[in-house]
Structure 1
Amino acid sequence: MSEPKSKNVVLVAFGGPSSSGKTTVAKTLSKLIPKTTLVHLDDFYLTDSKIPVDPTTGYQNWDCADAIDFPKFVDYLKSVRSGHVSAPIESIQSDDIDLSMSPHEIESLVQTIEENKQKISQHHLVFVDGFMLFHDPQCIELFDIRLFFHASFNTLKKRRESRSGYNTAEGFWVDPPNYFEKIVWPAFKQSHKYLFKSEDVEGELKPELAEKYCINDIANETNTTLFDLVNKSLSIILTRT
């Protein structure tokens, strides 16, 4: 009985660096579209004591691939795709979300979803958000639809440093001084530079890789609104399902 069900599962990757907007958009669409499943890569972090330590700064490196239990993550996604009932992951993410959109913008999105409800109902949409979904081709290929959120160094740094901290498996993490430029940004550059022209992660994706992996590029600079991001993401999802 799992075979027909598995064909209807659509895994949507909301990937990109820290503070690029991926989680906010994934949460927003999950709230707006009925019967979706939301999975956070952050829920697959290793326990706090097992997070790698950067040898230069002595800081724990929460922004590298080795901080994630990827075998557990991959097995979970494969289980979801197969239609098997997986035990729910206890999320460290808050369910709270501030829909910073006007009533008109929300109504516009709701109307689009309503107009496409028959198409949407034919699939089980699984939204997966995380900072390490595009660092490796094998990980990329787990997904049916790939949304890559990004912004400039300065924009991401400002957003990251405005946050009070992050829930972890065993507590709460607050970034030490200069954590973004010493840990977060270098980890993103190292893991994702292969996707970009001249390895410039503030530049353009290599067209051949964007085409090969069907990566949808979503820029989120300071002048980009939440409605812009959600509307574009929704349009891509509806087009590709």
Structure 2
Amino acid sequence: MDIKRTAPAPAPVTPETRSKTIIIGISGPSSSGKTTLARLLQRIFGHLDDLPSVTEEAQAQAQAPAPALRSFLVHEDDFYHPDDKIPTITLENGTTLQNWDTASALDLGLLSASLHYIKAQGHLPPRLHSKEDQNEVMGDADAGVPGHLVGELRRAEVGNATCSSGTKTGTGTTIAFVEGFLLFAPPPGGSAESAGHPLREVHERFDGRLFLPAAYEMVKARRERRSGYVTIGAAPVPQGNTQGEGENGEKEEEEEEEEDNQTEIDLEAEDDRPPQNFWTDPPGYVDDIVWPNYVKDHAWLLLPEDESEDDDRLLMETDPHELVRLAGQATRVRMDAGVTVAPGRGSEPMSKILKWAVEEVLKLLEEVA
């Protein structure tokens, strides 16, 4: 059960220090390119107040100094529970494995509280130190995106848009790009299940939601080429009685769990999480866990591969094998489910996806200007 995480009260904000922070979620299946896209966007939108293309003439036309525009990354993988708290799943063949590709493997309370902090303060909580930046990104670091394209987008399109749609003097805009495999929830729709979705609170923290579809074959090939992932090692063993020890063992554990659920975490404190560890996918992990979980958790967003099927077929299906069959390559995605879907059904090169994403970010900047 997730510990309730409460963000500390934000520092007072004055008109002189007021800034705008927008939080953009970037999601999709494992190995869909979301981390690469987030890193490219961070390079493009980082510290645009010092761009040489933002000329004095352009600033004069805007009748205001060029505002500072900065950005940073948040990796959902930094919010996993410690290794010994990751849930397990028993496969049909009797094998028991850790299930890293499910919501209960994540500290969603800490993630939500951190996003609340970021919205108020415009920067990461001091408590968070990223381990995800140590993980391997498949293929070339920029996925074949030429450096001149990144520079062009940064200087011309983004720089000029920042100047022309600048905010009031004394303010700036910060963009937090959050990438992860489980960030979004289905549209509320009135159902109790949708309203109480485990990702509802996280979903509502985002100002923009970008989704990158990817075909099963590509996900499987990319994921299985990865060497592994840096994780958080086992949590310290609590002192004293454990479950089953002593006459009141079970009752005492339940009381401790209730106390834990009310724990307030100080996001300004030093990171006291356990030391790092390393996880390598066992053989068959994509087909046994990664892909079935992805299809199940995104049944509200995916459409059947066979266009003759009812579009709501995945929503009505509960059998995991049938869900996977219906989804097929899982590149047919709803366009009316509250997320903005990348073009090309997972087949476009990263250069085109990057241009699309830049345009979507610029739209959001216009909205907050």
TM-score where L is the length of structure 1: 0.88
What secondary structure does 2:222 align onto? helix
1:238 aligns with 2:362: yes
How far did residue 63 of structure 1 move? 0.5
5+ residue gaps, structure 1: none
1:162 aligns with 2:225: yes
Q: Give me the whole-angstrom Cα distance separating, in 1, the residues matched to 2:344 and 2:223.
A: 14
Structure 1 partner of 2:148 = 104
Within the candidate set 92, 96, 103, 2:131 is matched to: 92
How far did residue 240 of structure 1 move? 2.0
Structure 1 partner of 2:279 = 173
> Is the contact made by 2:20 and 2:122 (CA closer than 8 Å) also made in structure 1?
no
Structure 1 partner of 2:119 = 81
> Is the contact made by 1:155 and 1:222 (CA closer than 8 Å) also made in structure 2?
no
Aligned partner of 2:151: which letter? E
Larger radius of gyration: 2
Q: Give me the whole-angstrom Cα distance separating, in 2, the residues matched to 1:47 and 1:20.
A: 25
Label 1:84 to 1:11 Cα distance change in 2 as closer, same or farther (>3 A).
Answer: closer
1:2 aligns with 2:52: no
Structure 2 partner of 1:224 = 348
Structure 1 partner of 2:160 = 115
Q: Give me the whole-angstrom Cα distance separating, in 2, the residues matched to 1:19 and 1:38.
A: 17
Label 1:23 to 1:113 Cα distance change in 2 as closer, same or farther (>3 A).
Answer: same
Structure 2 partner of 1:21 = 33
Structure 2 partner of 1:148 = 211
Aligned partner of 2:348: which letter? T
* Structure 1 segments of 4+ aligned residues over 6 angstroms from their partners: 3-7
Within the candidate set 33, 44, 47, 1:32 is matched to: 44
Label 1:156 to 1:120 Cα distance change in 2 as closer, same or farther (>3 A).
Answer: farther
1:61 aligns with 2:77: no
Aligned partner of 2:292: which letter? P
Q: Give me the whole-angstrom Cα distance separating, in 2, the residues matched to 1:84 and 1:234.
A: 20
Label 1:59 to 1:66 Cα distance change in 2 as closer, same or farther (>3 A).
Answer: same
Q: Which segment is superposed worse, 70-79 or 92-101?
A: 92-101
Q: Give me the whole-angstrom Cα distance separating, in 2, the residues matched to 1:239 and 1:21.
A: 22
| Identity %, equivalent residues | 30
Q: Give me the whole-angstrom Cα distance separating, in 2, the residues matched to 1:194 and 1:120.
A: 37
Q: Give me the whole-angstrom Cα distance separating, in 1, the residues matched to 2:32 and 2:166.
A: 26
Aligned partner of 2:179: which letter? D
TM-score where L is the length of structure 2: 0.59
Q: Give me the whole-angstrom Cα distance separating, in 1, the residues matched to 2:132 and 2:166.
A: 26
> Is the contact made by 1:3 and 1:82 (CA closer than 8 Å) also made in structure 2?
no
How far did residue 239 of structure 1 move? 1.1
Choose between structure 1 and 2: higher helix proportion: 1
How far did residue 117 of structure 1 move? 2.9
CA RMSD of aligned residues (A): 2.4
> Is the contact made by 1:61 and 1:183 (CA closer than 8 Å) also made in structure 2?
yes
How far did residue 83 of structure 1 move? 2.1
What is the CA deviation profile of residues 48-102 of structure 1, one whole-angstrom value per residue up to 9, with x for unaligned ones?
1111111223111111000000111101111111227621511112268723322
Aligned partner of 2:121: which letter? G
Q: Give me the whole-angstrom Cα distance separating, in 2, the residues matched to 1:101 and 1:191.
A: 30
How far did residue 188 of structure 1 move? 0.8
Structure scoring higher RCO (CA < 8 A, sep ≥ 6) equals: 1
- The total of aligned residue pairs comes to 237
Q: Which segment is superposed worse, 20-29 or 136-145?
A: 136-145
What secondary structure does 1:11 align onto? strand
Q: Give me the whole-angstrom Cα distance separating, in 2, the residues matched to 1:33 and 1:65.
A: 30
